[in-house]
Structure 1
Amino acid sequence: MSTDNGLTVILIALVLGALIGGIMADTLGRRPIMFIAMGLALSFQITMVTAETCLVYATLRALCGIFSGCFLVISIVLPLEVIGRRWRDFCVCLWVWMLGLPVLSIESIIVGGWRNTALTSGIVGLPFLGFYFLVPESARWLTCTQKFAKAESSIKEMISCNTRAVPDVLELCDDTRLYVMSTSHPRRHTYLDLFHTSTVGRWTVAVLYTWSVGCFVYCNLLNQVDSLTGNQHLDMILPFLLDLPICLSAVIINKCIGRRWCMFLYAVSSGFSMFCVLILHMMGDLHRYPYMITALAAFSKMGIGAALALLTLITAESFPTVVR
């Protein structure tokens, strides 16, 4: 199987898994679906070492991608529903999960061979399944599904781990219970609810368009900076490590000017860098400044990476819990 075909398989599987995992998490709960998907993804990752044919390998890779996509989308939503608004930007914009690729590169250097890498990465992830007993279910989701006792228990469990004094939440839970019971009715939500009203529909279309353009630009820029040093493993690590400081700056700037303007700032900066490349191309000087082109592409990638991180936060905060 060629590299391009393998990448196509895994990307399609990730999208399919995200679509399935999103609606299952909204229906059955965030925590159980997230950890089930994680366990199955690790299982297929480990089983992949037994593949002897391209068909078996592609099948196992696709299954691993499906459950990884399911896990990924829930692992972004669940923390945002547990932590407060002040820390959401810090949680999302750092994109700590992106360190997986640098860690995987270091791992492949140590163990060598794709079979050893697949086996090692799968085994290393298994102990994290034990966090099922530490990670609380989303109190927001429990409240929206009218499981008020479990929601109150989840909130009290988090409060018990907090060493700082907190106000009594019993009155807040009672007010929330009365509001939910008087204004909402339990029903199964689908992706059609994203277009339930004209306002929500316009916002959904705008978000989908922004995500499509941002991901298209990011992936293409990532391909342009795939040979920064000439070392395959180091070139896999550097592009993602470069994103961390710029995303950290996004956290700081976001607290000063807000989410939307901060995203706009980074997107415009990225677009300006790409426009500079276009000017050099029109002048016919593209081949004379290879290092400048690489630097501009890297800067553009960092800018659009920070914009996508903020877009993740904006998207999650803009939709209600039942369809988040």
Structure 2
Amino acid sequence: MRIPRSPRETPEILSRQGGKMLPWESSWRAARERQWNLVCEDDWKAPLTTSLFFVGVLIGSFISGQLSDRFGRKNILFLTMAVQTGFSFLQIFSTSWEMFTVLFLIVGMGQISNYVVAFILGTEILGKSVRIIFSTLGVCVFFAIGYMLLPLFAYFIRDWRMLLLALTVPGLFCIPLWWIIPESPRWLISQGRYKEAEAIIQKAAKINGIPAPAVLFDIAQMQDSKPEQQQKAILLDLFRTRNIATITIMSLLLWFFTSVGYFGLSLSTPNWHGNAYINCFLSAVIEIPAYVIAWLLLRSFPRRYSLSGILFLGGGVVLFIQLVPADYNILSIGLVMLGKFGITAAFSMLYVYNVELYPTLVRNMAVGATSMASRLGSILAPYFVYLGAYDRFLPYILMGSLTVLIGILTLFLPESYGNPLPESFEQMLQVKCFRNGHQSSGARNSKKSPTILVTPL
């Protein structure tokens, strides 16, 4: 496996959905370099474009959760989709590198925001059994399919403006979804908008052919908890107690190091032996079985042990690459693919696990914060690859070691398997190291929480 000797040898990594990096041929970058003369003393501008895109992703990860928790899932979802599609279209008419880069940063902000908000909205609307398949196969497999189609588009469309147009047009097909996708009933309840939530649940019951009870909510009892449910959450609420702060810090580390592993292996794809388009396709194909395994694990096994085990697999295999002779290129690629299989499965499981740990009031904010930590990992991942200029095994030793380490840390997080989504901070599970023989605070207070009859959606 060839390691680039300098950052200039590595093709540009761009993303068109989900805030993830998709490796593909550098023809787009080369065309723009020729058009805007990004060579010689200005060659630093080309990699800076990608870095600034991820700065936008970082900003979007930070603000999307807070906006969604304050103004609603549906409103922010379609607003950020409009931002992504609109500014991507404007990029086609860029007349300078500066204009393209500024627009690209804004696209990154909208892109990750609608990805995270869509995930949260679907998780809160769907029932428990459907929620898991939506979070893994529903979201991630369709991402992998788009990932697989990308090298096909890039192979046949060599002009970067036309390629960008082809990647932007599908966003217009989402407009009719405004009249189909409802607001999250859980978010409406947390804001005290009980009638709107009841109307959505009644409609869902009718569609599913389930008789809806005359009374869905005990309004009087729910109004007693109104001060807590309707308070406006801020980022510091993720650190309000020792237990919550510990869960947040461990989650941030988990997302950060998993992101380093995922994006580090993705960045190495263009450096494999063989055709770059085929390598990109193979890198996408391996994600589909990873998502299927993630779905099966989430459906039947405890979260902590499943996530920890799959991280051990991915990290251990990557560590093993250093023992493979240099001439065994196919074996090295196979191990990288297996390592990406494990880390990709873990990445898809993180969303489900994170959602199950936090209450409705700050759930989107928590996912946004952890996603922001993931973006920091993606920004640093290229530097792990560049360490191969000094030692070709060093990137894999570091990524493998960090992945195994975070797999151990995962064992200390609370277990959410089989538990309902928490609605308040008191219902949050305890970190394992804080547990004792007494009943947890969440269990003690669950009897005081208002009873909500939720019809399967």
Give me the identity figure in percent: 22
SS at 1:136 equivalent:
coil
For residues 143 and 117 of structure 1, the distance between their equivalents in structure 2, rounded to whole angstroms, comes to 43
- Tell me which residue corresponds to 1:135: 181
Cα–Cα, structure 1 residues 104 and 170, in superposed 2: closer, same or farther, change >3 Å?
Answer: farther
**Pairing 1:153–2:153 present:** no
- Tell me which residue corresponds to 1:218: 262
Out of 289, 294, 299, the position equivalent to 2:333 is 294
Out of 215, 240, 245, the position equivalent to 1:201 is 245
For residues 136 and 303 of structure 1, the distance between their equivalents in structure 2, rounded to whole angstroms, comes to 34
Q: Is the 8 A contact 1:38 1:129 kept in 2?
A: no
Q: Which amino acid aligns with 1:319?
A: Y
For residues 223 and 203 of structure 1, the distance between their equivalents in structure 2, rounded to whole angstroms, comes to 30
Q: CA deviation at 1:87?
A: 2.0
For residues 239 and 50 of structure 2, the distance between their equivalents in structure 1, rounded to whole angstroms, comes to 31
- Tell me which residue corresponds to 1:53: 96
Segment drifting more, 81-90 vs 38-47? 81-90
SS at 1:174 equivalent:
coil
**Pairing 1:102–2:145 present:** no
Q: Which amino acid aligns with 2:47?
A: D
Cα–Cα, structure 1 residues 277 and 28, in superposed 2: closer, same or farther, change >3 Å?
Answer: same
Out of 210, 213, 216, the position equivalent to 1:166 is 210
- Tell me which residue corresponds to 1:181: 223
Stretches of structure 1 lacking an aligned partner (at least 5 in a row): none
Q: What is the CA deviation profile of residues 282-304 of structure 1, one whole-angstrom value per residue up to 9, with x for unaligned ones? A: xxx54132221211111011101
Segment drifting more, 76-85 vs 180-189? 180-189
Q: What is the CA deviation profile of residues 171-217 of structure 1, one whole-angstrom value per residue up to 9, with x for unaligned ones? A: 3x223x44432124122211111001111110000100100110011
For residues 308 and 207 of structure 2, the distance between their equivalents in structure 1, rounded to whole angstroms, comes to 37
Q: What is the CA deviation profile of residues 29-58 of structure 1, one whole-angstrom value per residue up to 9, with x for unaligned ones? A: 000110011012101111111101100000
For residues 298 and 273 of structure 2, the distance between their equivalents in structure 1, rounded to whole angstroms, comes to 32
**Pairing 1:273–2:312 present:** no
Q: CA deviation at 1:229?
A: 6.5
Counterparts in 2 of 1:253-272, with a 5 A limit?
Answer: 253-272=297-316
TM-score where L is the length of structure 1: 0.91
Cα–Cα, structure 1 residues 254 and 145, in superposed 2: closer, same or farther, change >3 Å?
Answer: same
Out of 5, 26, 31, the position equivalent to 2:74 is 31
Q: Is the 8 A contact 1:144 1:180 kept in 2?
A: no
Cα–Cα, structure 1 residues 14 and 179, in superposed 2: closer, same or farther, change >3 Å?
Answer: farther
TM-score where L is the length of structure 2: 0.66
Q: Is the 8 A contact 2:273 2:329 kept in 1?
A: no
Cα–Cα, structure 1 residues 169 and 215, in superposed 2: closer, same or farther, change >3 Å?
Answer: farther
Q: Is the 8 A contact 2:154 2:163 kept in 1?
A: yes
Q: Which amino acid aligns with 1:52?
A: T
Backbone CA RMSD of aligned residues: 1.8
Cα–Cα, structure 1 residues 149 and 79, in superposed 2: closer, same or farther, change >3 Å?
Answer: same
Segment drifting more, 99-108 vs 126-135? 99-108
Q: Is the 8 A contact 1:14 1:68 kept in 2?
A: yes
Q: What is the CA deviation profile of residues 224-258 of structure 1, one whole-angstrom value per residue up to 9, with x for unaligned ones? A: 33355633333323212211112102212332222
Q: What is the CA deviation profile of residues 270-318 of structure 1, one whole-angstrom value per residue up to 9, with x for unaligned ones? A: 122122124x1xxxx5413222121111101110110111111000111
How many residue pairs match? The answer is 315
Q: Is the 8 A contact 2:147 2:281 kept in 1?
A: yes
Out of 104, 109, 117, the position equivalent to 1:66 is 109
Q: CA deviation at 1:167?
A: 4.6
Q: Is the 8 A contact 2:144 2:287 kept in 1?
A: no
Cα–Cα, structure 1 residues 170 and 112, in superposed 2: closer, same or farther, change >3 Å?
Answer: farther
For residues 252 and 71 of structure 1, the distance between their equivalents in structure 2, rounded to whole angstroms, comes to 26
Cα–Cα, structure 1 residues 179 and 262, in superposed 2: closer, same or farther, change >3 Å?
Answer: farther
For residues 251 and 85 of structure 1, the distance between their equivalents in structure 2, rounded to whole angstroms, comes to 13
For residues 157 and 300 of structure 1, the distance between their equivalents in structure 2, rounded to whole angstroms, comes to 45
Stretches of structure 2 lacking an aligned partner (at least 5 in a row): 1-37, 39-44, 364-457
Segment drifting more, 135-144 vs 94-103? 94-103
Q: CA deviation at 1:124?
A: 2.4
Cα–Cα, structure 1 residues 169 and 249, in superposed 2: closer, same or farther, change >3 Å?
Answer: farther
For residues 69 and 38 of structure 1, the distance between their equivalents in structure 2, rounded to whole angstroms, comes to 10
For residues 361 and 303 of structure 2, the distance between their equivalents in structure 1, rounded to whole angstroms, comes to 23
For residues 156 and 117 of structure 1, the distance between their equivalents in structure 2, rounded to whole angstroms, comes to 44
SS at 2:296 equivalent:
helix
